[in-house]
Amino acid sequence: MIRLVIFDFGDTIFKSGPDPRSTGTCKWEVLERDEDGWPTVVAPPDRKGFVERAFPHAQEVLREMRRRGIWLSVASSAEPDYTPFMVEAFDMGALFRHAFMAQKGDYLQDCSRKGTWVEAIIHDFNVAECQDDPLEPREVLFVDDLARCLDAVKKRVPGINVVLSMPRMEEGMKYIYEVIEEINAEHH
């Protein structure tokens, strides 16, 4: 059973792109919300003409996973002065625990750090929330849009489940449900 899903951010949950509604007002602004009122498009304080967009159903799917009792975390090499504030603008801060994000000036593109971070995230859960029933790698799923990051994580954490993110399909992030169902069925 999958008990923890660890996500990359860029091109996995969010994508930035041009949008003339973004006017650089010196604060994060919500431009669009889903039918439940959760932000889906936000404009950053100082990047005029650009917005951050959550992939379709991202809010709904992440919240539903938490409702089902699945832990969520993040291993992201996105900008440390920007990404945590973006997550707050999307009102997603409370969804993720033990997130690992890049330190300032830390832009290694080989993904080797993601393996270390994922290992550390699992460890953090096991000394905090999961002390009585430690997570095993086969109960963890890592999602990223880069195959080399998946490989780095598999190498560092043997037995972990990994999947290439595919949120551009019509159903957006709902593909995660099927991935989890498939993994859970395999282990029965």
Q: Which residues bind Mg ion (CB under 5 A)?
A: 8, 10-11, 145
| 175: Cα within 13 Å, side-chain hemisphere | 16
Closer by beta carbon to Mg ion, 70 or else 111: 111
Closer by beta carbon to Mg ion, 14 or else 139: 14
| Closest distance of CB 78 from Mg ion, Å | 8
Question: Distances in Å between the alpha carbon of 23 and those of 16, 30, 42, 86?
Answer: 15, 12, 11, 16
Burial class (CB in 10 A: 0-12, 13-18, 19+), 125: buried
Q: Which amino acid is at 120?
A: A
Closer by beta carbon to Mg ion, 8 or else 29: 8
Whether the CB-CB separation of 86 and 58 falls below 8 Å is answered with no
Closer by beta carbon to Mg ion, 10 or else 44: 10
| Closest distance of CB 186 from Mg ion, Å | 26
Whether the CB-CB separation of 144 and 8 falls below 8 Å is answered with yes
Residue with smallest beta-carbon separation from Mg ion = 10
Q: Which amino acid is at 5?
A: V
| Closest distance of CB 106 from Mg ion, Å | 15
